[in-house]
Amino acid sequence: MERVQKVISNLGYESRRNAEKLIIDGKVLINGHVASLGDKVKDSDEIRVNGVILDRKNNQNKVYYLLNKPRGVVSTSNDDKGRKTVIDLIDTSLRIYPVGRLDYDTTGAILLTNDGELTNLLLHPKNEIEKVYLAKIKGIITGSDIHKLKSGVMIDSKKTSPALVKLKSYDKKTNTSMVLITIHEGHNHQVKKMFLSIGYEVLKLTRLKFAFLDVKNLKSGEYRMLTPKEVKKLYGLGKN
Residue 37 CB neighbour total at 10 angstroms: 12
DSSP, residue by residue, 30-82:
ETTEE--TT-EE-TT--EEETTEE--SS-TT---EEEEEEPTT-BSSS--TT-
What single-letter amino acid sits at 39?
A: D
Encode 45-60: b = buried (16+ Cβ within 10 Å), e = exposed: eebbbeeeebebeeee
Residue tagged active-site, from 55, 103, 105, 115: 103
Element (H, E) at 150: helix 143-151
Among residues 12, 88, 68, which one has the least CA distance to residue 213? Answer: 68
The yes-or-no answer on residue 103 being catalytic is yes
32, with CB counted inside 10 A (0-12, 13-18, 19+), is exposed
Residue 213 CB neighbour total at 10 angstroms: 17
Collapsed DSSP state (helix, strand, coil) of residue 97? strand
Beta strands 97-98 and 107-113 are antiparallel
- Where in the sequence numbering do the catalytic residues fall? 103
